[in-house]
Amino acid sequence: MAENALSSRLQMAMRRLTGRGFLTEKDIDDMMREVRLSLLEADVNFRVVKTFINHVREQAIGEKILKGLNPGQQVIKIVHDELKRVMGEDTQTLNYATSGLTTLMTIGLQGSGKTTAIGKLGVYIRKETKKKVLFIAADVYRPAAIEQLQTIAKQIDIPVYDEGLKDARDIVRNGLAFAKSEGYDVVIIDTAGRLHIDTHMMQELVDVKKIANPNEILLTVDAMTGQDAANIAKSFHDQINATGAILTKLDGDTRGGAALSIREVSGIPIKFASSGEKMDTFEVFHPDRMADRILGMGDVMTLVEKATDAIDEEEAQSMMEKLMSDTFNYNDLMKQFKMVKRMGSLSRIAGFIPGLGKMKDAVSQIDDKQFDKMSVLIDSMTEDERRHPRLIDESARRRQRIAKGSGMNVADLNRLREALGQQKRMMKQMMSMDEKQLQQMQSHPNQALAQRSRKKGKGKNKGQWRH
C-alpha cells in the first residue's frame, strides 16, 4: 500500500511544504486542495475526506504553526496524526478467553479472502501464543469453501472439523463440543460467505453468534474495494456487531481508500493486514506505522520485527565478523540471500525503509527472481570456488565453466561478483565512518544509495539481470 497513488499524491503535496521557513494561509489551502483530491481519487469515503480536511486545516492555520519554526514539518506532523486518528489511533490486539476455549468467528463476503485470512490467522496465533488451534468449517453454501479450508489447513498442519453441507448451526455446536473434549485452546469458525448481504445470511450469522458466544467476530474486508469496503463493513457491524476487521489483498492494486474509511464509517477497528498468498504475509495493523508508510517515512519498526523473526542472531553476528575480516565468500552471500528471502518480497521490504519509498522506479524494478538466478550461479561453483572468490576472479576459464553450468552467461556471473564486492566495499566504507557520518547515512539512506548508483558503468542492460 505504501507505493500506491494515495501515497504518491500525498507525499508530493507534503514535499512542497518541507523546508519552507514561512507559510501563508493560501499555501495551506493549496495543500488541502491537493490532499482532498488525493483522498477522493483513492476512493476514500467523502464524509471521511471532509472531516479529515477540516481537522487538518483547523490546526494548520493556527498562529503557532504559521509563525512557528519550520512550519512545513509541523503541518506534515498534523497530517500524519490525522491519518493515524482516522485509522484508529491505537493498535488493537485479539481478545483471548481468560480461561478455557477462545472462540473466534470470521465473517465476510465471498471473494474477500476470508478462507486464506483464516489460515494466516491460525498460523499467527500458533506462532505468537503456542496455542492449539482448530478450524470449524461452517461455510456450507459453497462446497468448494470447505475443500479450500481443508487444503489450506493441511499446508499449515491445523485440523479442520467439518460435517459436510449440513446446517451450519449444528456444525458449530458439535465442533465446539469436539474442541473442548480434545483440549483445543482456540477455535476459528469459518462462516457463510455470499456474493451479497441478504436477510437469510445475516440470520444464520446471528444464530451462530448466539451458539458460539465468540470472544471476537472478525470481518474480512477486501482492500481493493475502496470505500465500498467501509459500507459493507457497516452493514455487517450494524447487524452482527463485529469486534475487528482483517484488511485483505493489500498487495494488489489497492488505492488506500479502505484503510482510511473502515474505522471512521463503520466503527470497526482494523486489527490485521493481509497481503499475498503465503501464510506468513499477515501482520498486526498499526495505524501509526501505516501513516508513516503512506507519507513515505518508511516503517522501521515492522522491518526490525521481520528481521528478528527471520534472521538468526548468531548467524548474523558470524556474517558481520566475516565481512569485517574480509573473509566473506559466496557461501556467506548465499546465506544472506536466504535470510532476506525469509523476510518477504524485496519490493515490500524496500517500502519499510525510509527514503526508498521515494525511489519508485528503482523499487518497482526489484525482482525477487534475482536471488534465484544468483543462487543457481553459486550452485554451479565448486566448494573451493565458493570459499575462495579469488579463484574465480583470477581465471577466465572458471568463469566460463560456471556460467555455462548455470545456463547463464559470463556477464551474469560478473554481476554476482560485483554484488559480493559491493558488500565488502560497503562494510569497509561504514567501518571508516565516524559517528556523525553514520547518523547522516541512517537519516538519508537514499542519498547514500544515489552516490553508489552514480558509480555504475554504462552500456546496455548494465546492472540488470537477464530474464
Q: 271 vs 75, which has greater pLDDT?
A: 271
Predicted confidence at residue 244, as pLDDT, reads 93
Predicted confidence at residue 300, as pLDDT, reads 47
Q: Are residues 140 and 219 both part of a single domain?
A: yes
Kindly indicate the confidence band of residue 64, based on its pLDDT and cuts at 50, 70 and 90.
Answer: low
Q: 66 vs 153, which has greater pLDDT?
A: 153
C-alpha cell belonging to residue 441: 547515512
Given a cut of 70, whether residue 76 has pLDDT beyond it is yes
Q: Please state, in angstroms and rounded to a whole number, the distance separating the CA atoms of residues 335 and 407.
A: 22
Question: Could you list the residue range(s) of the whole structural domain that residue 79 is in?
Answer: 5-87
Give the mean pLDDT of 316-339.
72
Give the domain-ending residue among 55, 87, 119: 87
Q: Which of 141-150, 303-312, 426-435, 447-456 has the lowest mean pLDDT?
A: 447-456
CB 35 within 8 A of CB 247: no
Predicted confidence at residue 238, as pLDDT, reads 87
Give the domain-ending residue among 237, 272, 295: 295
Predicted confidence at residue 68, as pLDDT, reads 60
**How many CA within 13 A on the CB side of residue 113?**
28
User: Minimal CA–CA distance to 217: which of 105, 117, 112?
Assistant: 105
The answer to whether residue 403 sits within a structural domain is: yes
Q: Are residues 388 and 248 both part of a single domain?
A: no
Q: 382 vs 329, which has greater pLDDT?
A: 382
Q: Are residues 318 and 419 both part of a single domain?
A: yes
The answer to whether residue 459 sits within a structural domain is: no
The answer to whether residue 335 sits within a structural domain is: yes
CB 195 within 8 A of CB 109: yes
Indicate the helix (H) or strand (E) that contains 229: helix 227-240
Q: Please state, in angstroms and rounded to a whole number, the distance separating the CA atoms of residues 75 and 25.
A: 12
Given a cut of 50, whether residue 455 has pLDDT beyond it is no
Q: Are residues 130 and 239 both part of a single domain?
A: yes
Q: Are residues 128 and 247 both part of a single domain?
A: yes
Give the domain-ending residue among 36, 59, 87: 87
Predicted confidence at residue 383, as pLDDT, reads 92
Mark 89-99 as b/e (b = at least 16 C-beta within 10 Å): eeebebebeee
Kindly indicate the confidence band of residue 435, based on its pLDDT and cuts at 50, 70 and 90.
Answer: low
The answer to whether residue 180 sits within a structural domain is: yes
Indicate the helix (H) or strand (E) that contains 25: helix 25-41
Share of the chain above pLDDT 90, in %: 30
Given a cut of 90, whether residue 307 has pLDDT beyond it is no
Question: What CATH number is associated with residue 41?
Answer: 1.20.120.140
Q: Which of 17-21, 152-156, 319-323 has the highest mean pLDDT?
A: 152-156
Q: Which of 11-25, 121-135, 393-407, 432-446 has the lowest mean pLDDT?
A: 432-446
The position carrying cell 534475482 is 370
Number of domain units in the chain:
3
State the average pLDDT for the chain: 78
Q: Are residues 404 and 347 both part of a single domain?
A: yes
Q: Are residues 272 and 400 both part of a single domain?
A: no
Q: Please state, in angstroms and rounded to a whole number, the distance separating the CA atoms of residues 385 and 377.
A: 11
Q: Are residues 28 and 115 both part of a single domain?
A: no
Predicted confidence at residue 368, as pLDDT, reads 59
Q: Please state, in angstroms and rounded to a whole number, the distance separating the CA atoms of residues 213 and 203.
A: 15
Q: 174 vs 18, which has greater pLDDT?
A: 174
The answer to whether residue 94 sits within a structural domain is: no
Question: What CATH number is associated with residue 177?
Answer: 3.40.50.300
pLDDT, tens digit (0-9, with 9 covering 90-100), for 232-283? 888 888 888 999 999 888 765 556 677 788 888 888 899 998 877 778 788 8
Q: Which of 283-287, 295-299, 454-458 has the lowest mean pLDDT?
A: 454-458
> Rg of the chain over CA atoms, in angstroms?
26
Q: Please state, in angstroms and rounded to a whole number, the distance separating the CA atoms of residues 44 and 38.
A: 9
pLDDT, tens digit (0-9, with 9 covering 90-100), for 106-139? 998 887 888 999 999 999 999 999 999 999 999 9
Q: Are residues 362 and 386 both part of a single domain?
A: yes
| CA 134 from centre of chain | 26
Kindly indicate the confidence band of residue 302, based on its pLDDT and cuts at 50, 70 and 90.
Answer: low
Q: Please state, in angstroms and rounded to a whole number, the distance separating the CA atoms of residues 350 and 347.
A: 5
The answer to whether residue 276 sits within a structural domain is: yes
The position carrying cell 556474517 is 319
C-alpha cell belonging to residue 362: 528503482
The position carrying cell 479502505 is 258
Given a cut of 90, whether residue 218 has pLDDT beyond it is yes
Share of the chain above pLDDT 70, in %: 72
Question: CA 3, 9, 13: angle at the middle one, nearest 5?
Answer: 130
Given a cut of 60, whether residue 40 has pLDDT beyond it is yes
pLDDT, tens digit (0-9, with 9 covering 90-100), for 130-149? 999 999 999 988 778 899 99
Q: Are residues 264 and 153 both part of a single domain?
A: yes
DSSP-derived secondary structure for 40-94: HHTT--HHHHHHHHHHHHHHHTSHHHHTSSSHHHHHHHHHHHHHHHHHTSS----
Q: Are residues 291 and 307 both part of a single domain?
A: no
Alpha-helical regions (H) of 107-161:
114-129, 143-156
Give the mean pLDDT of 76-98.
86
Q: Are residues 236 and 135 both part of a single domain?
A: yes
Angstrom CA distances, 403 to 33, 141, 240, 415, stand at 56, 55, 61, 12
Q: Which of 14-23, 85-94, 407-416 has the lowest mean pLDDT?
A: 14-23
Given a cut of 90, whether residue 392 has pLDDT beyond it is yes
